[in-house]
Amino acid sequence: MKGIDVSENNGVVDFESVKNAGFEFAIIRVGYGNGHLDECFYRNVNEALRCGLQIGVYHYSYALNEERARQESEFVVNTLNQCGLTPDKLLGVYFDMEDADCYKERHGMPSWQTITNMCSIAVNRFWKDGYVAGIYANNDWLDNYIDYEQLGGCSLWLAEPYASEPRRKCNIWQYSFKELINGQEFDANILF
């Protein structure tokens, strides 16, 4: 099953075109950091569902310690509860610990074990409410920053664009950062 992932950075998404292009799901960013709701979250959820797409969600973390990871994961669960996105309505809830904008690098990159612990805190919080829970990461982060083996078999959303197949066993494979749909560019994924 093919899908896209979206955030406010994509602007207004034409989910009808996404559906018509053969995509069946969207993974939608809830927010980022401690309490920052993605400004397109509600629109993206409502439009994707209206167009018949299945949905999952993710949160981009700015946590540098375990307490902040706990706060961020509570924010995610509270947001999902407030808008009625119960576990049966979602493909999964994913925690993205990567450092795309170098925030962690600038503010003191946590240790490998701390990063792994922060992922564990989030995944366990999502599991507590019955969600399929996982992390989003690329191979560099899985090789050098996160000990995935410590995460108890949580779902893996692997970012490995432009490979012919994923190097690791994963639940979702992000295979492209440049999927064009009706003139708009998206990250594209396959759900196994």
pLDDT in tens, 136-148: 999 999 999 999 9
For the entire predicted model, the pTM comes to: 0.97
Strand-strand pairing, 25-32 and 155-159: unpaired
Cα–Cα distance measured from residue 103 to residue 100, given in angstroms and rounded to the nearest whole number: 8
Give CA–CA dist 79/7, Å, rounded: 16
**pLDDT score at 63:** 98
According to the model, what pLDDT value does residue 96 have?
98
CA distance 76 to 58: 9
pLDDT one-digit tens code per residue, 115-128: 999 999 999 999 99
In whole angstroms, give the CA distance from residue 170 to residue 156: 5
The per-residue pLDDT for 61 is 98
What one-character-per-residue DSSP string does 17-82 give?
HHHHTT--EEEEEEEETTTEE-TTHHHHHHHHHHTT-EEEEEEE---SSHHHHHHHHHHHHHHHHH
Query: Which whole number is the average pLDDT over 36-42?
Result: 98
Chain-wide mean pLDDT for the chain? 97
- Per-residue pLDDT tens for 49-63? 999 999 999 999 999
pLDDT band at 153 (very low <50, low <70, confident <90, very high): very high
The whole-number pLDDT of residue 103 equals: 97
The maximal CA–CA distance of the chain, rounded, in angstroms, is: 44
